[in-house]
Structure 1
Amino acid sequence: MNSLFEKLSSALSPVILLISRVVIGYLILLHGLQKLTGDMPLLSLMGVGGLIETVGGALIILGLFTRASAFLLAGQMTVAYLMFHASAATFFNPIANQGEPAVLFAMAFLFIFVTGAGKLSLDAKIAK
């Protein structure tokens, strides 16, 4: 039974990584576009964050410069959590301080940074 799951996992791994990368990239791209299409000055902290999220999200979707983009986005989400959500009273409770999306995004981008874009990406095509 265990080898069945290992075989299934190995067979599905490239497709699941592609789907995960596209969904995570799309979600962060939407967050970036939300910031950029408002009245936010582009050179403000939120404007720069929106630019990083938009460009980084598009690169994650394409699987292009994936590790660098994921590393930058993980850092941005960590800074977002520390600056806008965490306080001494709620640091370890992202539900209470509404920082759960930032934490989840940071961990998702760290996962992508460690695994890379996978076989079904522009990074893999360029490497060949």
Structure 2
Amino acid sequence: MERLHVWSPRVLSVLRIIVALLFMEHGFMKLFQFPGPQPGAPSPLPLLLTAAGALEIFGGAHILIGLFTRPFAFLLSGMMAVAYFTAHASQGFWPGLNGGEPAILYCFVFLYFVFQGGGEWSIDAQVRKRP
């Protein structure tokens, strides 16, 4: 197990990168219908969903490269909590039935990044290493 511990900061970076790419996809689907339209999104997109899509792309890009990871993760975690309670919780208690599982997972993964940072392969870590 000790050998695995050495890899922890790198695996954290891999998790950050994968989560950011998946999160950004939601923004691209909302704003640009790429790689397809966001399922269930109205057309034209209301201002709140347009702002959410912009945050998903812009904030996701910062998470992707690991720049200002903690503040952007805090912002995105809150955004996903709001998304859950405004779009999913009113459709029933159980997240598996109300479609809110992804929102909850993103919320708590981003919250984890607030406390853990972006990992070894992030711009934040490279800036900290400079003398």
Normalising by structure 2, we get a TM-score of 0.85
Answer yes or no: is 1:26 the counterpart of 2:10.
no
Q: Moved runs in structure 1, 4+ residues, more than 6 A?
A: none
Question: Equivalents in 2 of 1:75, 1:109: separation in Å?
Answer: 9
| Cα deviations by residue, 1:16-61 (Å, 9 ceiling, x for unpaired) | 01110000000101011111114555x7000000000101111111
Answer yes or no: is 1:69 the counterpart of 2:72.
yes
Shift of the 40–16 alpha-carbon distance from structure 1 to 2, 3 Å rule, reads farther
Answer yes or no: is 1:59 the counterpart of 2:67.
no
Question: Equivalents in 2 of 1:54, 1:8: separation in Å?
Answer: 36
Matches of residues 90-109 of structure 1 in structure 2 within 5 Å? 90-91=92-93, 93-109=94-110
Tell me the percent identity.
Answer: 40
* Unpaired stretches in structure 2, ≥5 consecutive residues: 34-42
Normalising by structure 1, we get a TM-score of 0.87
Q: Secondary structure at the match of 1:72?
A: helix
Answer yes or no: is 1:82 the counterpart of 2:85.
yes
* Unpaired stretches in structure 1, ≥5 consecutive residues: none
Aligned length in residues? 120
| Cα deviations by residue, 1:67-115 (Å, 9 ceiling, x for unpaired) | 011001100100000000002x723x10011100000000110011110
Answer yes or no: is 1:16 the counterpart of 2:11.
yes
Does structure 2 retain, via aligned residues, the 8 Å contact 1:40–1:46? no
Quote the RMSD (CA, aligned, Å).
1.6
The one-letter code of the counterpart of 2:13 is L
Does structure 2 retain, via aligned residues, the 8 Å contact 1:36–1:47? yes
Give the drift of 1:9.
Answer: 2.9
